[in-house]
Structure 1
Amino acid sequence: MKLGLRLPQRLGTDLKQDLVEAARTAEAAGYDSLWTYERLLFPNTPAEPYAGTNVAWPEHSRQAADPLAVLTAAAVATEHVRLGTSVLVAALHTPVQLAKALATIDQISGGRMVAGMSTGWSTDELQATGATRADRGRFLDETLDVFDAVWGPDPVTFRGPRVVIDDAWVLPKPVSRIPVLLGGGGSNLGRSTTSAAVQRIAKRADGWLPLLTTPGPAGAAELRGNWDRIRELAAGYGRDASRMEMVVVGNVTFTDRPAGPDRSAFVGTLDQIMDDVATAAEADADELIVDLNLQDWFTSTQQMLETAVQIRERFQPDGGGFVG
């Protein structure tokens, strides 16, 4: 299993200094990839709680720097790591402009771009771009169709519900085909093989971006079982499921004392977090994204990076387990 790190975008980040430092530090420490997330705005009276939970929107999300601008800075500052979005909300973007932006970053980075996409969940963000919750699925489907069209050969002709391209050149093209991964929330996504989200992943995605929510062997078994079912569906559609990848997201929250037996995955002490890293590996994840952006524990990006380096040093990716 490989390790990725989400770059700092949150409130308090010095965008001029911290982004380049974080990207270079993570690559030097041995992280395999760098990721960004998307948060368009911070409503004072949101239409729903945060990210499908029952909690208020966290204060740090008042700022989430533009994910593609952040990845552009990281592309220039690094040489080898993959650069991914986890995730972009399709309905917040014009499909052709998004396809062009992703292809541009792929060219700047020498072919290292990974496009993680999702339908989104925030009513406040969707309505700010003229969309509704009812639009989410069809806007994502059309965006994926546009990617296929404009990343293919020129001239491009495409007709969709919103997008019309009539015999036009759309450049630049990606260095090679950009992998498109689809998010789907928690590790229980695969329980319903008839859901639109599961079918979309199986039919169209190069991989899945789930959250690991349950720690320990039960969490590994659940995630692995859901991933097996998604790949079985993909094979049923005539796809080569062995080429798909599961990139798990770990949203870290540190506690002063060990969290109790009812804790969620990636909540607890550093030792408990490392146990959850092991759980993701046991679930046959191809990669784990360590996200420290949500952590109010940190007072600076430097402090965040010190912990990120410590996590990477304790992880042995080639079957060597963990070191103390």
Structure 2
Amino acid sequence: MRIATTIFLTDETISPVRLARELEQRGFSGLYLPEHTHIPVSRETPAPMGEPLSREYGRSLDPFVALGQAAAVTERLALGTGITLVAEHDPIVLAKQVATLDFLSGGRFTFGVGYGWNVEEAADHGVRWATRRNLVRDRMALMRALWAEEPRSYEGEFESVRASYAHPKPLTAPRGRAGAEPLTGPRTLIGGAAGPKLFAHIAEYADGWMPLGGSGLTRSLPALRQAWRDAGREGEGPEIVPCGVVPSQGKLAHYQDLGVSEVILDLPSAGEAEVVRALDEFAQYL
């Protein structure tokens, strides 16, 4: 089981370059970064992680720029978003960003996809909250069309694109789906709370699930794996990658027994000295 990390990198924390080098030197498998474009001051949406909302949410670095820096100073470290708020992006531009980062890193990118929790943030991007899940699904299909080897058009409920030349391509090979176009693009994990709609979307257009924290997996995984089989997906089943985990030996052993392939440990959003101390503490789990 691979041990990766996640952190809110901000203008006040350790830099992406220093963190990436420290992670690779110690043997951690990856670095995943969250995303918030902004946090409206007048926010009425309660934060699911509790109030008051921590300072780092309004100061986070752009994950694609930060991961580009991390890619440039490492050779083996996997890089990912945990998660990208796809509904807040132009999908044609996002497809280019994802493909470029995957190409320049040598295929090390994992595309963590999510729907968000902050209604006001999404509204400033023109997102109608009730439609955001279907909007993300539509935009993912458009991006897959741009990532295909041959020019392919897409016409969906919310988005469309003409058959286009769009390079570079992500380096991950297409994955088969019974009765449907193969999945193109990098390894894709969807974040979100367990439920039939989420599991159906994972089975339709992703490679696995990125649950926050990882609680309740024993109850949830049978339903997800059944949705995977019902969708005619090939292979042993979806990847399970809990994110933001506060580790213990017992917890990690439990995840391994459940078939979890990777765990993403939660680092403090802090300066260099505090983050390095946390890495030294987490090294016991490698």
The reply to whether TM is greater than 0.5 is: yes
Which letter maps to 2:26?
A
Which structure has more relative contact order (CA 8 Å, sep 6+)? It is 2
Residue 44 of structure 2, aligned match among 14, 38, 47: 47
* 2:144 paired with 1:173: no
* Structure 2 equivalent of residue 315 of structure 1: 285
In structure 2, what is the Cα distance between the partners aligned to 1:5 and 1:54? 22
* 2:191 paired with 1:183: yes
Which letter maps to 1:281?
Q
Structure 1: runs of 5 or more not aligned:
215-221, 252-265, 267-271, 317-324
SS at the partner of 1:154?
A: coil
Structure 2: runs of 5 or more not aligned:
173-184
In structure 2, what is the Cα distance between the partners aligned to 1:108 and 1:127? 33
CA offsets per residue over residues 289-321 of structure 1, 9 Å max, x none? 112245xxx5x2232122123212x114xxxxx
* 2:264 paired with 1:289: yes
1:1-324 maps to which residues of 2 (within 5 A)? 1-10=1-10, 12-13=12-13, 18-50=15-47, 52-176=48-172, 177-185=185-193, 189=194, 192=195, 195-212=196-213, 214=215, 222-242=216-236, 244-251=238-245, 266=246, 273-293=248-268, 298=270, 300-312=271-283, 314-316=284-286
SS at the partner of 2:127?
A: coil
**For residues 125 and 134 of structure 1, do their structure 2 counterparts lie closer, same or farther at Cα, with a shift above 3 Å needed?**
same
Which letter maps to 2:279?
A
Tell me how far 1:172 sits from its aligned partner. Answer: 1.4
In structure 2, what is the Cα distance between the partners aligned to 1:169 and 1:70? 27
User: Contact conserved, 1:207 with 1:244, CA < 8 A, in 2?
Assistant: yes
In structure 2, what is the Cα distance between the partners aligned to 1:167 and 1:311? 47
In structure 1, what is the Cα distance between the partners aligned to 2:16 and 2:72? 11
Tell me how far 1:7 sits from its aligned partner. Answer: 4.4
Which letter maps to 1:19?
P
User: Contact conserved, 1:11 with 1:61, CA < 8 A, in 2?
Assistant: no
User: Contact conserved, 2:228 with 2:237, CA < 8 A, in 1?
Assistant: no
In structure 1, what is the Cα distance between the partners aligned to 2:204 and 2:32? 24
Tell me how far 1:116 sits from its aligned partner. Answer: 0.7
Tell me how far 1:242 sits from its aligned partner. Answer: 1.2
Larger radius of gyration: 1
Report the aligned-residue RMSD: 2.0
Give the structure-2-normalised TM-score.
0.88
Tell me how far 1:163 sits from its aligned partner. Answer: 2.8
* Structure 1 equivalent of residue 177 of structure 2: none
- Give the paired residue count: 274
Tell me how far 1:225 sits from its aligned partner. Answer: 3.7
In structure 2, what is the Cα distance between the partners aligned to 1:213 and 1:165? 37
In structure 1, what is the Cα distance between the partners aligned to 2:105 and 2:68? 8
